[in-house]
């Protein structure tokens, strides 16, 4: 399973440096996972040159040496594998990807996890094909069992 962690935006300068938008919580964390890859499986070893005021990174990929090569990568999405994520030490913490596909017994399945800035929400498709969202906080989410692939919710919080 591939997890999107960033996107190549545009070249920076003439030596092949590139602007990258990181989708990690802290922009610099994108470099902590090791090699990144695109959807075709090409790998990218990156070195962060600097972070700009708007949170955009200026990076250097080991195999990109000029602006023309950098321009050809514009729009490329960057991924890591699930195995590249560090283990979580707190059993009450979850990666979004681990929540997708969990079953809410007698109700539905989690089909998405989103955070639009006001908190994290689960998108649930009910067994009768209706779509609901629910905030991901302790009053609404009663129990998560990653091993059993189930999640118990308080239906009073469904939107």
Confidence of residue 159 (pLDDT cuts 50, 70, 90): confident
Q: How far is CA 106 from the centre of its chain?
A: 29
pLDDT in tens, 49-103: 999 987 899 999 999 999 999 999 999 999 999 889 888 888 778 888 889 999 9
pLDDT in tens, 36-50: 999 999 999 999 999
Alpha helices in the chain (DSSP H): 67-72, 96-99
What pLDDT does residue 120 have? 86
CA atoms within 13 A on the CB side of 97: 11
Rounded CA separation 69/72 (Å): 5
- Report, in angstroms and rounded to the nearest whole number, the Rg of the chain calculated over CA atoms: 19
Class assignment of domain 96-157?
mainly beta
Rounded CA separation 158/20 (Å): 36
pTM summary value: 0.72
Residue 149 in tokens = 């692939």
Contact predicate 122/129, CB 8 Å: no
Q: How far is CA 115 from the centre of its chain?
A: 11
Q: Is the alpha carbon torsion for 127, 82, 48, 67 positive or negative?
A: negative
Query: DSSP secondary-structure letter at 158?
Result: -
The domain ranges of the chain are: 2-84, 96-157
Class assignment of domain 2-84?
mainly beta
The residues pairing with 152 across neighbouring beta strands, listed in sequence order, are: 143
């Amino acid at each position: 399973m591939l997890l999107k962690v960033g996107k190549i935006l545009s070249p920076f300068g003439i030596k092949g440096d590139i602007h990258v938008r990181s989708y990690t919580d802290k922009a610099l964390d994108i470099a902590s996972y090791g090699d990144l890859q695109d959807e075709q499986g090409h790998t990218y070893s990156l070195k962060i040159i600097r972070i700009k005021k708007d949170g955009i990174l200026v990076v250097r990929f080991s195999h990109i040496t000029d602006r023309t090569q950098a321009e050809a990568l514009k729009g490329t999405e960057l991924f890591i594998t699930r195995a590249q994520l560090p283990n979580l030490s707190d059993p009450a913490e979850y990666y979004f990807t681990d929540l997708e596909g969990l079953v809410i017994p007698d109700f539905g399945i989690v089909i998405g996890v989103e955070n639009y800035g006001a908190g994290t929400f689960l998108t649930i498709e009910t067994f009768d094909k209706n779509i609901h969202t629910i905030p991901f906080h302790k009053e609404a989410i009663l129990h998560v069992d990653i091993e059993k692939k189930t999640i118990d919710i308080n239906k009073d919080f469904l939107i």
